[in-house]
Amino acid sequence: MSRLIKSSYFYPLEVIIDDREPIAIEKELLAKGNLLVQRKRLDVGDYIFDKDLLVERKTVFDFCASVKDGRLFKQVSKLANGKIPSILILEGRQKDFKETDFSVSAIQGILVAISLGFKIPILQSKGIKETVSIMLQGYKQLTKDRLQNQRIYPRKGNFKKGRDQLLKQKIHILEGFPGIGVDRAERLLDHFGSLKDIFEADFKELLGVPGLGRISALKFREILDG
């Protein structure tokens, strides 16, 4: 299995591909390992990764054609208004732009309008392999433990004051797990109430704990399941 999609170690990464996209990209994705790929017609975007990332892929020629026929900003608007974080990948080499009717400044203006006006990140790729790499890197970044998961979350009880010895022992047991630490140990106990309930919680239930990211939850369950 590719290290690039290490965040999908516990479960296969599910990828939905628009049925109009090239077979070559599907083959490149499957070569990475640990993926479940499904082709179907998508209303928005061209690729969906585990419902965590939506990708609109355009070659330079399709990009320019979609500007001319008015498709581009309608598509970008749908991406921006969707519930899934999205990116636009512009695939092609610099020489491809010279074969279009658009000047460099015109294309730059359109890209700026999309990135600033619609808040859609635009990433450039030279070809299919680089496109696949960018998509998987984007998924990896979105699904790893984010900085926001390190914030201090309010708790029902006050763990800092008057900890009894039994509570300290429970926290000590939990903080021994990779990625947990004292803060997350307290949140787990606050959420589930006992070590027994924590250890019996499934992956989805663990994700319900404020501040416990996807990767930490996967590692936690992986260790418990042996």
Q: How confident is the model at residue 4 (pLDDT cuts 50, 70, 90)?
A: very low
Q: Residue 96's closest CA among 73, 72, 65?
A: 65
| Phi and psi torsions of 7, nearest 5° | -70, -10
What is the predicted pLDDT for the residue at 65? 93
Query: Domain segments of the chain: what residues?
Result: 3-144, 149-224
Q: CA-to-CA distance for 32 and 3, rounded, in angstroms?
A: 9
Q: CA-to-CA distance for 218 and 89, rounded, in angstroms?
A: 29
Show the tokens assigned to 151. 């914030």
pLDDT digits (tens, 9 = 90+) for 107-152: 889 999 999 999 999 999 999 999 999 999 998 887 764 434 444 4
**Options 3.40.50.10130, 3.40.50.10860, 3.40.190.80, 3.40.50.150; which CATH number does 3-144 get?**
3.40.50.10130
What is the predicted pLDDT for the residue at 165? 78
Average pLDDT over residues 91-110: 88
SS3 12: coil
Q: CA-to-CA distance for 135 and 199, rounded, in angstroms?
A: 34
pTM: 0.62
Q: CA-to-CA distance for 158 and 209, rounded, in angstroms?
A: 17
For residue 48, list its beta bridge partners. 16, 54
Strand (E) or helix (H) holding 71: helix 71-81
CATH number, domain 149-224 = 1.10.150.20
Residues 37 and 29: beta-carbon distance below 8 Å: yes
3-state SS string for 102-151? CCHHHHHHHHHHHHHHCCCCEEEECCHHHHHHHHHHHHHHHHCCCHHHHC
pLDDT digits (tens, 9 = 90+) for 26-51: 999 988 877 889 999 999 999 999 88
Q: Of 82-91, 152-161, 171-180, where does the model show the most confidence? A: 82-91
